[in-house]
Amino acid sequence: MSDVAMAPPRRRGFARFLPLERAEGENAAAGRALLAECLRECPLWSSVLVPAVIARTAAALLLPAAVAEGIDAAVSGAGVATAVVHVGVVLTVLSAAEAAMELANAYYKAAVTADLRNRFIRHVLALGVAGRRRFASGDLLSRLTTDTAKPAGFLLVLLNIAVGLLTLAGCAVALWIIDWTLALTLLVGIPVAFGMVRLFVSRTAKHFLRYQQIQADIVARFLDALRGARTIRANGNPQRDAARVLRPLGELNITGRAVWKAQGQIGWQLLLLISLLQIAVLCVGGFALTAERITAGEFVASAGYVLLAVHGFEAVESIVMVLKSHIGATRVATVLSTPAREPGSPVVPDIGAGRLDLRGVTVRDGDRVVLDNVYLRIPAGSNVAAVGRSGSGKSVLAAVAGRLVHPSGGSVTFDGVAFAELSESALRASVAYAFEKPALLGRTIHDAIAYGRPGASRAEVERAARIARADHFVRKLPAGYDTPVREARFSGGEVQRLGLARAVLVDARLVILDDATSSLDAATEVQVAHAFDRVLAGRTCLLVAHRASTAARADLVAWLDEGRVRGFAPHAQLWSDPAYREVFGG
């Protein structure tokens, strides 16, 4: 690798006002690329928005001239009817253009935001478990709800800045036509104003970005507290956790005050500059009027033009919006640029009954090795229990076996087909999961059970629930299987049985039960196990077990110790080892 440092790419246009690389690194370029994509979105409404903004600008520039025409006509004694018509036409165009601009901007922002959120959600789901570990849940929620809405306003902000510059140029030309000294007086303030704006941006860009990051951190802490609400209450110290959630508020306050202070400073500085320019132009215009170089109407027009021109200096709000749009786009692009899995083959070749092979599988979590060079051959149609002490890698093994986690090294094949080559849809048609704490997704209980097979009939859903011993308590609900999930209250064991029913319904060749019966009492677990033995006959099953009775019912036991396979044999054979018995507290 060359030791010669490459120069960073040169930024162009407004990017020179956005020194975000120091805060976001290479993702700032991805943010600008995403903003460019958003500018090309929804061509219908953008094609309405751009002409509307141009028409509004043109009408605003013509209005002082039309008023001046009327004043000069009145002073000279000529008829003012024509001038009144001209003013009326200009005002009508101005009003219509503003209405069209507001309507087009609303539809454009809604369309772009909806599309960006759709892309964001799809990509986050496509990242898989390992990919999503890079981002905290609260951070992802903040990026979805807040940051995805900001790029949609970028087009109008750019148009407003462009219009401000064009208006400034148009006013300078109009003042030059009236009297060159008026234009020269106005132009003196332009470099001063732009220098002030650039200084403001260079000072506040990092603060805007940090403000967003702190807000996301608070949301992430709050979501963690909600998930652990029972633990917090059980330990009787909610004040400590409230303090933990709100700890970043101090930095948020400091960062916010830094931004507001900078905005306040640039605000009064620009206001002072604008006032001085207005006074200067009016004084020069007054001298020109007394010298009879301009008429009374032209003096009024010059006052109108300088009023329009100074709005071009008030670019701070637009520049702030550019900063916010860029920061939002950068935070969204950071997620979208995280590589997702390739689509893979859309089908699983039906060449076997479900043999699962793990060859040299290694999984790392940061610097820690969770699974270390694991070799396992799980025969087709067998029932294999994964056992081991807490932290031995049982759940990670189950996750790798179903490609919820991608190994850092080694390979996983199913009936000779590499899991890495399969699409998610093909994989999920062949692998069914049940978890320790299953999430009930869908509108109703029927939907939650049928989540893996959305087209399943009611009879199929009820059969799966009966096998998992869930049918009787579902029927006791107010609307049975049509009861909304949000209105149902279940115990931990009942939720697990619904998760088991969902796994049964998928009718997959490989079933993975990740501690999926831990909340069931012993009698119910035995009933569910016997029912599963019948319905899963001929299918391959990998289950994470904590009880010796569960391991005893399995055909084979994979005994894990510190991420390695210490034994792979029937439970009865392993039971002779005292270290194995200690896994179950024996």
Summarised one tens digit per residue, pLDDT across range 528-577 is 887 877 777 778 899 898 888 888 888 999 999 988 999 999 999 999 99
The pLDDT score that the predictor gives to residue 558 is 93
Please list, in sequence order, all residues whose beta carbon lies within 8 angstroms of the beta carbon of residue 425, skipping any fewer than 6 positions away: 346
Measured distance CA(168)–CA(531) in Å, rounded? 79
Measured distance CA(32)–CA(9) in Å, rounded? 13
Measured distance CA(316)–CA(300) in Å, rounded? 28
Measured distance CA(100)–CA(497) in Å, rounded? 56
Q: HSE-up of 25 (CA within 13 Å, CB side)?
A: 2
Measured distance CA(19)–CA(521) in Å, rounded? 60
Q: Does position 14 have pLDDT exceeding 60, yes or no?
A: no
The pLDDT score that the predictor gives to residue 22 is 44
Q: Does position 204 have pLDDT exceeding 80, yes or no?
A: no
Q: In this predicted model, what pLDDT tens digit does every residue of 492-527 receive, in sequence order?
A: 888 989 989 998 888 788 888 887 777 777 778 778
Q: Does position 475 have pLDDT exceeding 90, yes or no?
A: yes
- pLDDT tier for residue 151 given thresholds of 50, 70 and 90: confident
Q: Does position 1 have pLDDT exceeding 50, yes or no?
A: no
pLDDT above 70 covers a percentage of the chain that reads: 87
Q: Is 565 helix (H, G, I), strand (E, B) or coil?
A: strand
Q: Does position 228 have pLDDT exceeding 70, yes or no?
A: no
Q: Are strands 356-365 and 431-435 parallel, antiparallel or unpaired?
A: unpaired
The highest-confidence range among 24-33, 128-137, 478-487, 514-523, by mean pLDDT, is: 478-487
Q: Give the closest residue to 330 by CA, choosing from 221, 248, 213.
A: 213
Q: Which residue has the higher pLDDT, 89 or 270?
A: 89
Q: Give the closest residue to 64 by CA, choosing from 314, 407, 297, 348.
A: 297
What sections of 41-80 are H helices per DSSP? 43-76
Distances (CA, A) of 153 to 150, 162, 212, 328: 6, 14, 17, 11
What DSSP letter does each residue of 490-549 carry, written as one string? --HHHHHHHHHHHHHHH--SEEEEESTTTTS-HHHHHHHHHHHHHHTTTSEEEEE--SHH
Average pLDDT over residues 479-495: 89
Q: Give the closest residue to 130 by CA, choosing from 437, 335, 340.
A: 340
* Residue whose structure tokens are 């399943």: 456
Q: Report yes or no: 348 and 429 within 8 Å, Cβ to Cβ.
A: yes
The pLDDT score that the predictor gives to residue 235 is 57
486 secondary structure, DSSP code:
G
Interior CA angle at 250 toward 247 and 251, to 5°? 100
Q: Which residue has the higher pLDDT, 446 or 455?
A: 446
Q: Report yes or no: 165 and 53 within 8 Å, Cβ to Cβ.
A: no
The pLDDT score that the predictor gives to residue 8 is 42
341 secondary structure, DSSP code:
P
Please list, in sequence order, all residues whose beta carbon lies within 8 angstroms of the beta carbon of residue 178, skipping any fewer than 6 positions away: 294, 298, 301, 302, 305
Average pLDDT over residues 334-347: 67
Q: Which residue has the higher pLDDT, 537 or 391?
A: 391
Q: Which residue has the higher pLDDT, 375 or 250?
A: 375
Average pLDDT over residues 451-466: 90
- What is the overall mean pLDDT for the chain? 79
Which tokens in the block code for residue 378?
A: 């799980």
Q: Give the closest residue to 518 by CA, choosing from 481, 559, 550, 557.
A: 550
Q: Is 384 helix (H, G, I), strand (E, B) or coil?
A: strand
| CA 186 distance to own-chain centroid | 45
Average pLDDT over residues 346-361: 73
The pLDDT score that the predictor gives to residue 98 is 82
Distances (CA, A) of 4 to 1, 7, 475: 9, 9, 71
Q: In this predicted model, what pLDDT tens digit does every residue of 273-320 receive, in sequence order?
A: 777 877 887 788 888 878 778 777 777 777 777 777 776 665 556 777
Measured distance CA(138)–CA(24) in Å, rounded? 19
The pLDDT score that the predictor gives to residue 21 is 46
Q: Which residues of 100-136 are buried (b: 16+ CB within 10 A; e: fewer)?
A: bbeebbebbbebbbebbeebbeebbeebbebbbeebb
Phi-psi region of 360 (alpha: psi -120 to 50; beta: other; left: phi over 0): left
Q: In this predicted model, what pLDDT tens digit does every residue of 57-114 receive, in sequence order?
A: 778 777 777 777 777 777 766 666 777 787 888 888 888 888 887 888 788 888 888 8
Residue 318: CB atoms within 10 A of its CB come to: 20
